[in-house]
Amino acid sequence: MFKDLFDRHELWHISRTSIARATAIGLFCSMVPLPGQMIVAVFVAIRIGANVPLAFSLIFITNPLTMPVIYLSAYLLGSALLNVPVIDVNAIDWLDPTSPELLSIWPSFLLGCFVMGVIVAFFGYFIADGLWRLRIAQRISERTRRRRERKAKEKRDRGSNSH
């Protein structure tokens, strides 16, 4: 059943497109405030040919230490976009999923999460792609420099041997 997945090298190997795609997927899914982020990230990575381990790993950007800041920011962003008043989060009964205060923040919160996900995915993709391209350009430049130095040395050696 999974044999085809292991045969698809772009899902496991490191390449510019595979890494950039996985970065976008993982960052977007890390902003999704629902259970199953990892499953969604892996599924999408498989569907579009991204590096599965990286997409999976980036989910953990939202973890118990970062969740309060990320999700509060998402709620504030969503409230600003919807132009609705911000509810004092200390007044919410977080343990009661039917509390009116908790239910009232969901639209703002989900919109904020979606917008943040799109933003971090967009920038993550182009940063990963840009860093990859920058590293390739550096390697080409270094190789060219070494080639010039080698040719200059060979020219000096030929000149000193002719005397």
In the chain, the amino acid numbered 146 is: R
User: Tell me, what's the pLDDT at 103?
Assistant: 85
User: Tell me, what's the pLDDT at 9?
Assistant: 57
Q: How does DSSP assign 90-155, residue by residue? A: GGS-TT-TT-HHHHHHHHHHHHHHHHHHHHHHHHHHHHHHHHHHHHHHHHHHHHHHHHHHHHHHHH
Which residue bears the tokens 């919109």? 111
User: Tell me, what's the pLDDT at 156?
Assistant: 81
Alpha-carbon distance of 38 to 49, in angstroms, equals 16
User: Tell me, what's the pLDDT at 12?
Assistant: 64
Residues 74 and 33 sit within 8 Å (Cβ to Cβ): yes
User: Tell me, what's the pLDDT at 20?
Assistant: 94
Longest dimension (CA), the chain: 94
Instruction: Give how far the C-alpha of residue 37 lies from the chain's centroid of Cα atoms, to the nearest Å.
Output: 13
User: Tell me, what's the pLDDT at 28?
Assistant: 97
User: Tell me, what's the pLDDT at 1?
Assistant: 44
What is the mean pLDDT for each group of 10 consecutive residues in the chain (163 residues)?
57 82 96 89 90 93 91 94 90 79 88 97 96 93 90 80 61
Instruction: Give how far the C-alpha of residue 149 lies from the chain's centroid of Cα atoms, to the nearest Å.
Output: 39
